[in-house]
Amino acid sequence: MTTTQQAAVIQMSSGPDRDANLASAASLLQSAAASGAALAVLPENFALMGARDTDKLAIAEVEGAGPIQEFLSRTARELNLWIVGGTIPLTSSDPGHVYAACCVYNARGERVARYDKIHLFDVDLPDGRGERYRESSTIAAGAPKPVVVDTPLGRLGLSVCYDLRFAELYRALVAQGAELLCVPSAFTEATGRAHWEVLLRARAIENLCHVLASGQCGSHSGSRHTWGHSCIIDPWGGVLADCGDRPGAALATIDAERRARLRHEFPVLGHRRLS
């Protein structure tokens, strides 16, 4: 691992056409690689934001095969780029449910990690607009265990969207050696406006980690609206890059030496008294 490398967070406004979404993702990943990124994070549901929750079942892939996984492997290899594949729907033992799988591919196109989303977004938003979400109706929760993978930028802890509200997951990732945290997301406009940045900065500060948070933005089929503002946060809580509210890629330098120095000089992680 070198002490400084570029990371990118990819922001999309995915729709109901898988192939069109993959073409958009390819263009944004190419741009990130051309700008010097060694690792890029795609958002949750990057390959499909359907009009109905059940739409994802029609494009679900089996472990290790399918157009989305082949796209991620091929693109990583062709661009010589590590890719965190947001989430893709992978089949479960129940044909009515899929796993929301976050898969990591190295620059040779090899899948080196998989994390299945643990916390499912089953909420009625308290904003008076009647927004209601029930991810558990089509998504199977993953096994409650942290997943950390070595990358050129450091040890990367995996999480997805609603996981961001559960600080204990990130403590478990740090206990496994995580130095960076990724949060591919599709945060709603209402919750994003209220909580997105403050939660990301909190996870960075309390764990002295870089945070790579990619998101969906804009309007989608089914009257869903997402917040955007994909960003990269440094271990002291500073926002290094922000995509705003439009599709694109935001890049920042990940300074591993500064991160290590902060952890040494401000040893909060060693002061914990509860496990």
User: Which residues does the annotation mark as catalytic?
Assistant: 44, 117, 161
- CA 97 vs CA 39, 155, 234: distances in Å: 30, 30, 36
CA 80 – CA 71 distance, rounded (Å)? 14
> How many CB atoms sit inside 10 A of residue 270's CB?
7
Strand partners, 217: 227
- CA 8 vs CA 34, 89, 263: distances in Å: 11, 23, 23
Sheet holding 239-242, edge to edge: 148-151, 154-158, 180-182, 210-213, 231-233, 239-242
Strand partners, 111: 105
- Let me know: does 157 contact 146? Beta carbons within 8 Å: yes
- Let me know: does 23 contact 30? Beta carbons within 8 Å: no
> How many CB atoms sit inside 10 A of residue 92's CB?
17
216 Cβ contact partners less than 8 Å away, ≥ 6 residues apart? 11, 12, 13, 14, 43, 44, 45, 46, 49, 185, 186, 187, 226, 228
50 Cβ contact partners less than 8 Å away, ≥ 6 residues apart? 16, 56, 221, 222
